[in-house]
Amino acid sequence: MIGEPPHCPSDNAETGARGITLSEVERLRDAFIEAAVRCERAGFDGVELHGAHGYVLAQFLSPEINLRDDRYGGSPENRARIVKEIIDGVRARTRSDFNLGIRLSPERFGLKLAEIRELARQLMAEGKLDYIDLSLWDWAKEPVEEEFKGRTLMSCFTDLPRGETRLGCAGKVMSGEDARECLARGMDFVLLGRAAILHHDWPRRAAADAGFRPVPLPVSEQYLQDERLSPPFVQYMRNWKGFVEARESEPA
């Protein structure tokens, strides 16, 4: 809430965040469900739950950030409870063909790869999601945790049984070759971030040219405006080191 300290699953001295009460957890859960219902009512065909990048659902999944001692904290099952309750709630209150997915971070933000792998396995086995979107940072990277070294982060998930749930990834998928390699390694689909910012028609370009690669970085503000980025979005992209050309008054 504006004017209040940030909220968190439990008190966090590093950020000054306040741990939310049990009733606030339940209201948070219900707010996610209501948001999905409103999206359906507004005409959308589906939603993606954001359980990655240190946002609140990722905080609940983190054993370092979530220090609760009630049914939403402690064991991996308890820390994942809010995610599963949201999924159940959205499924109960939207039409049968409403598309529902979740984005997960397998590492960073206090998350443990083994736990996220197990959560992904459970979610795919339960069959209530249409897809899982893995934010890998770099589709070809190794895991950070030593016990998983010697294989790609992606491979920690592509060997899991999926049922009818589709598995996709994001993370420096820039060229058509990158996308094809992700599919060859077991992904069902890929998601674009920076590549789609650089080329609003990336799928069309990649389909027409097997060797397509995006323009080199950094790009000018005018280039991004021509790609239909708004001035505030262009300014935001300046926070991404090396993405936007430095102005004359700025250091290179």
Structural domain boundaries in the chain: 7-135
Q: What DSSP letter does each residue of the chain carry, written as one string?
A: -TTSPPEESS-BTTTTBEEPPHHHHHHHHHHHHHHHHHHHHTT-SEEEEEE-TTSHHHHHH-TTT----STTSSSHHHHTHHHHHHHHHHHHHS-TT-EEEEEE-SSSTT--HHHHHHHHHHHHHHT--SEEEEE-SSTTPPPSSGGGTTS-TTHHHHTS--TT-EEEEESS--SHHHHHHHHHTT-SEE--SHHHHH-TTHHHHHHH-TT--PPPSSB-HHHHHHTT--HHHHHHHTTSTTTBPPPTTS--
What's the pLDDT at 251?
A: 59
The percent of residues above 70 in pLDDT, for the chain, comes to 98
Q: What is the pLDDT of residues 19-31, one digit of tens each?
A: 999 999 999 999 9
Instruction: Please confirm, yes or no, whether 55 is among the known catalytic residues.
Output: yes
Q: What is the pLDDT of residues 49-85, one digit of tens each?
A: 999 999 999 999 999 999 999 999 999 999 999 999 9
**pLDDT of 250 higher than 70:** no
Q: What is the pLDDT of residues 208-245, one digit of tens each?
A: 999 999 999 999 999 999 999 999 999 999 999 999 99
User: Which one of 55, 72, 131, 236 is the catalytic residue?
Assistant: 55
What's the pLDDT at 1?
A: 62
- Region 134-148 average pLDDT: 96
Q: Are 53 and 104 in contact (CB under 8 A)?
A: no
- pLDDT grade for 252, boundaries at 50, 70 and 90: low
The interaxial angle of helices 81-93 and 113-126, nearest 10 deg, is 20
Q: What is the CATH number of domain 7-135?
A: 3.20.20.70
For 1-54, what is the HEC assignment? CCCCCCEECCCECCCCEEECCHHHHHHHHHHHHHHHHHHHHCCCCEEEEEECCC
The percent of residues above 90 in pLDDT, for the chain, comes to 94
- pLDDT grade for 105, boundaries at 50, 70 and 90: very high
Amino acid symbol at 10 = S
